[in-house]
Amino acid sequence: MSSRRSANHYLWFDTEYSTLDLENAKLLQVAMLVTDAKLKRLHPPEEDVNVFIRFDGTPAAWVQENLAPLVETCKSDQAISVEESDTALAEYIDKYFGAPSKEIRLRPMLAGNSIHADWFLVRRFLPKLMDRVHYRLLDVTTVKMEWLRWFKGSSFDKENPVQVRRYFPGALISQDLGPHDAYYDIQASVAELSFYRSGLTKVVPQKANT
């Protein structure tokens, strides 16, 4: 895929981490999938990235209380090093977009909810990923706030797998996935943006996007 085309795609990305204090947080899980600008998958869901990162410390109380299974997984043989997770993400991107463009503006863009927090951790822990992504971020949370506050639209229930599948038919959601799982959350973010787009086309004059 050419660099010019890769700039028109989104790398849906999410992290789970050990504390909301991002300066001291450690990565626990990273997940990624890629879509085009129309939110269509480029590949089967079986090829998505979803890895758990080795963690031997003590997480914040909220994380321990609400994400105990994740913390347990990060202390098991299923977990890999943060360096291995960075390599997995880099290889995934290179598989679909080739070697990273020297022009940052031609690289694919990270997308997700409150993606700035994930970007902060990318800059701390994932240098290979950082070298492969655009300097801009697509933050679904920003769209959400405008939709709710300015357009007075209805909320999207991203904790409802039925809603997620409706607005992102490419979602792969097993019974053990739910909110605060990075892989679930990236799929919910795609669905959520699709939901807002469908609502905005009804209230904003639309130009054909060809």
Residue range 147-166: average pLDDT?
A: 94
At 176, is the pLDDT very low, low, confident or very high (cuts 50, 70, 90)? confident
Q: List C-alpha distances in Å: 5 to 20, 93, 108, 130.
A: 35, 13, 9, 19
Does any domain span residue 208? no
In tens, the pLDDT along 89-135 reads 999 999 999 999 999 999 999 999 999 999 999 999 999 999 999 99
Residue range 169-175: average pLDDT?
A: 87
**164, 139, 190, 143: which is closest to 31 by C-alpha?**
190
How far is residue 15 CA from its own chain's centroid? Answer: 7
Question: Which carries the bigger pLDDT value, residue 23 or residue 5?
Answer: 23
**Domain span holding position 75:** 3-203
Does any domain span residue 59? yes
Question: Which pLDDT score is estimated for 1?
Answer: 60
* Predicted TM-score (pTM) above 0.75: yes
Question: Which pLDDT score is estimated for 210?
Answer: 47
Question: Which pLDDT score is estimated for 146?
Answer: 95
DSSP type of residue 158 = T
Does any domain span residue 89? yes
Does any domain span residue 81? yes
The residue length of the chain stands at 210
Residue range 165-193: average pLDDT?
A: 90
Q: How many domains does the chain have?
A: 1
β-partners of residue 154 are none
168, exposed or middle or buried, with CB in 10 Å at 0-12, 13-18, 19+?
Answer: buried
Question: Which pLDDT score is estimated for 177?
Answer: 66
- Tell me how far apart the alpha carbons of residues 35 and 163 are, in angstroms, rounded to a whole number: 19
- Whether residue 194 is predicted with pLDDT greater than 70 in this model: the reply is yes
At 5, is the pLDDT very low, low, confident or very high (cuts 50, 70, 90)? low
DSSP-assigned letters across all residues of 70-120: HHHHHTSTT-B-HHHHHHHHHHHHHHHH-SPPSSGGGSPEEEETTHHHHHH
Q: What angle do CA 28, 67, 174 make, to 5 degrees?
A: 90
Residue range 149-172: average pLDDT?
A: 94
At 206, is the pLDDT very low, low, confident or very high (cuts 50, 70, 90)? low
Does any domain span residue 209? no
In tens, the pLDDT along 37-83 reads 999 999 999 999 999 999 999 999 999 999 999 999 999 999 999 99
Does any domain span residue 210? no
Q: What is the CATH number of the domain that holds 170?
A: 3.30.420.10
Question: Which pLDDT score is estimated for 174?
Answer: 80
At 208, is the pLDDT very low, low, confident or very high (cuts 50, 70, 90)? very low
Question: What average pLDDT does the structure give for the chain?
Answer: 93
- Tell me how far apart the alpha carbons of residues 210 and 200 are, in angstroms, rounded to a whole number: 18
Does any domain span residue 137? yes
